[in-house]
Amino acid sequence: MHAHPCVLLVDDDPLVLLTATASARAAGLAPVSASDGEEALGLLTAGLSPALVVTDLDMPRLDGVGLLAAVRALHAERGPHTIMFSAEQRPSRNGGADLWLSKNAPAALDTAFREFVAATER
């Protein structure tokens, strides 16, 4: 039996976190959530090592761009796969995320989770 890959979900909207958590679990991931970039950074510096980070763009204290910069600094060689999940229509500032998804198409996150799990099982 394989351990479920950890996904760090970061969003200041509790409903988005709840929905994303359920979607991640359904796809076979082990979700950990944070309500903003500062909380997520605290988890990462405390030793959390997710295989995937999904973050909102606009959040208080530390936004998604700042969080992804910190993730890259912490994991200089091979860091986690990153997804920016934003309400913005165009990824004008995606923070260097591997993938940008719109919150207006939430099913895309379900698909991304399933594809990520399938890729990790190869």
Q: Taking all residues of the chain, what is their mean pLDDT, rounded to a whole number?
A: 89
> Mean pLDDT throughout 70-76?
84
pLDDT tens digit sequence for 7-24: 999 999 999 999 999 999
Phi/psi class of residue 24: alpha, beta or left (left: φ > 0; alpha: ψ in -120 to 50)? alpha
> Mean pLDDT throughout 108-117?
95
pLDDT band at 1; cut points 50, 70, 90: very low
- Structural domains present in the chain: 6-120 (3.40.50.2300)
Residue count (the chain): 122
> Mean pLDDT throughout 60-75?
90
Handedness of CA 5, 100, 26, 7 (dihedral sign): positive
